[in-house]
Amino acid sequence: MLSLDWNKLLRCVTVATVLSGVPSAQAYTWPNPLMEELDSQVYDRSDYNARKLPTGMRPSCGSFVFGEATGRANVGDWLRVAYHDMATHNKTDGTGGLDASIRFEESRDENAGDGFFNTIFFISPFANRYFSLADDIALAAVTAVEMCGGPKIAFRGGRVDAQEANAPGVPEPQQTLDEHIASFDRQGFTQEEMIGLVACGHSFGGVQNVAFPTIVPPSNDPNNTSGNAPFDSTFTEFDNKVVTEYLDGTTQNPLVIGPNVTTRSDFRIFNSDNNATMSKFADSSVFMSTCADLLARMINTVPSTVTLTEEVQPLPIKPTAMTLSFAGNGNIQLKGEVRFWNGSSDSDVKLFWKSRDGTTSPDFSVPLTLDTDHVTEPLVPGFPSLKSLWYDLPAISVNATQSISSFWFEVDGKVEDQNGVGYAMQDIVMMSNGSCLLLGDGTNVQLVLKFAIRADVKPSRVYLKADALDSSNAPIVQTTDLPLTTPESTLSGYNVWSATVASPINGWTVAVDVDGKTYETTYIVPGTSFSLSYANPTLCPQ
């Protein structure tokens, strides 16, 4: 019987997907707000609509957000935070893992240094209702590796933020080899995998005197105020120097040659199989492929109660910020833009739609226009020329009694409809023209919401869902009920309502519950698609 290396096969499928723009069997179907957001976080990295994690690697991988002369870099902190968060996992009882509990564990001796606070402080504003802080921590590590010379790491989302600390359990330099082997075994890693994970993790960063004064001495270098002693000579680039310098005897890794023999934990770990594993890693390709697998396993080590999503693949044709809005004159407008993964600038693209009752017509179509200024770079390792192109929708207005139930595309004459499923739209609730901000005295800004609900539905609840961060910097959704009394108007089968609420700072939607189902307006992440977003209303007329 033919034996298949499934890990290798999946890596090949992933590369083929990236190159061709064709989704693999794991690709999601739009609409799926969770997967859409994860797709954007992973693959919209630079230029138009780019997400913010990559800014931690700007202008270079040597950047450090909290000072220019510390001798440190964000990349080391970000990878360390992800491991320390995961390292509380207990494979026997399924507790612990990468769940953002690290924010409750920063004061422990096993989490020495300010890298945990710094990292959470910097990345937490990027979290939202579909991108947990735990996902944020995991992707920060992935982003650091992928943008700074490392391999592509398969990413899954859906991590759940813990609400309390997990049991202690992060390995410490002064522990014995047996203690380290037992600790990694509890986490779910063998001795050989322990060697690999430590080598991969220590491709970045070093040990700072300010956090570990008994391991490394202070520095007199004005450009190294933290007293950072790097693990290798390229501590801001992901490569196998931590291995080759160890093997050839040139290493300055303080956990290998430091004056305190008790804290030479890297030496004990690397040498624990007589350097058999480290010798394999002298081959850069072996090191990179092993790190891709081990780091993916590391970030996917979560509490047993959590189920992660499928691997996040880029949707080849991805509608973004697609909104139906009530125009106030009995018409509905469709607005939005479309990302074409690795698209061609000379493609002929048309959008077609169906009315609410499923009717189609030659008139139900428009050409899309490529905006040459709107280009996104995914920055996928090994494929620097990949780009996503964005097409704008022209003004699309339909009678509200017809509405739009779904749409699809033709690209150079070929139908693109998600294998016959189409791209579905809900028209139960939508924003209406006229939402605006009331500034008041400047300290109590209010949002005047104008929204329309189909007159043939009877919602049991209507409410605002607004993103916020809790006291521990984890994203939460706050809800505010919107009482309905008398509609401002009724037109073309819709009731138009108005409500005034405290203005949300972050993303928000209006939701309605109908017969056990929830329908809501389009969620638009702040800082993206500004020109399309009703989430940025103008000031109310005085």
CATH, residue 331? 2.60.40
Question: Are 192 and 59 in a shared domain?
Answer: yes
Is residue 275 one of the residues assigned to a domain? yes
Long-range contacts of 20-27 (CB under 8 A, 24+ apart): 20/342, 21/314, 21/316, 21/340, 21/341, 21/342, 21/343, 22/316, 23/313, 23/315, 23/316, 24/313, 26/310, 26/311, 26/313, 27/313, 27/315, 27/316
pLDDT of residue 313: 95
Question: Are 377 and 261 in a shared domain?
Answer: no
Euclidean distance between the first and the last CA atom of the chain, given in angstroms as a whole number: 78
Question: Are 288 and 360 in a shared domain?
Answer: no
Residue 409 phi, psi (nearest 5) = -125, 155
Domain that holds residue 372: 317-424
Question: Are 419 and 435 in a shared domain?
Answer: no
**Structure token digits, residue 166:** 């997990």
CA-closest candidate to residue 166, choices 95, 93, 83: 95
Is residue 206 one of the residues assigned to a domain? yes
Q: Where are the beta strands (DSSP E) in 92-214?
A: 206-208
Q: Where are the beta strands (DSSP E) in 342-380?
A: 349-354, 365-367, 369-377
What pTM did the predictor assign?
A: 0.93
How many domains does one find in the chain?
3
Q: What CA–CA distance (Å, rounded) separates 292 from 81?
A: 18
Q: What CA–CA distance (Å, rounded) separates 374 from 399?
A: 30
pLDDT of residue 441: 72
Q: What CA–CA distance (Å, rounded) separates 296 from 291?
A: 8
Q: What is the residue type of 502?
A: A
Question: Are 215 and 252 in a shared domain?
Answer: yes
* H and E: helices and strands count for the chain: 12, 23
Q: What CA–CA distance (Å, rounded) separates 340 from 174?
A: 52
Question: Are 411 and 439 in a shared domain?
Answer: no
Is residue 2 one of the residues assigned to a domain? no
Q: What CA–CA distance (Å, rounded) separates 534 from 390?
A: 20
Question: Are 122 and 240 in a shared domain?
Answer: yes
Determine the angle formed by the axes of helices 284-299 and 133-147, rounding to 10 degrees.
Answer: 170
pLDDT of residue 4: 28
- Give the distance, in angstroms, between the CA of residue 110 and the centroid of all CA atoms in the same chain: 27
CATH of the domain at 260: 1.10.520.10
Question: Are 274 and 341 in a shared domain?
Answer: no
**Structure token digits, residue 385:** 């020329």
Cβ-in-10-Å burial (0-12, 13-18, 19+) of 79 comes to: buried
**Structure token digits, residue 90:** 């207990």
Of 377, 397, 424, the residue at which a domain comes to its end is 424
Model pLDDT for residues 258-276, shown as the tens digit of each residue: 999 999 999 999 999 999 9
Residues in the chain predicted with pLDDT less than 70, given as ranges, are 1-26, 442, 529-535
Contact 171, 48 (CB under 8 A): no
Of 272, 299, 326, the residue at which a domain comes to its end is 299
**Structure token digits, residue 83:** 């491991």
Contact 321, 335 (CB under 8 A): yes
Question: Are 415 and 372 in a shared domain?
Answer: yes
Is residue 4 one of the residues assigned to a domain? no
List helix spans (H) across 262-342: 265-270, 276-280, 284-299
Q: What CA–CA distance (Å, rounded) separates 188 from 88?
A: 11
Strand partners, 73: none
Question: Are 207 and 349 in a shared domain?
Answer: no
Which run of H or E residues covers position 528?
none
Question: Are 229 and 287 in a shared domain?
Answer: yes
Question: Are 437 and 408 in a shared domain?
Answer: no
Is residue 227 one of the residues assigned to a domain? yes
Contact 425, 521 (CB under 8 A): no
Is residue 306 one of the residues assigned to a domain? no
168-185: burial string, b at 16+ Cβ within 10 Å, e else: ebbbbbebeeeebbebbe
Is residue 6 one of the residues assigned to a domain? no
Of 424, 443, 478, the residue at which a domain comes to its end is 424
Is residue 305 one of the residues assigned to a domain? no
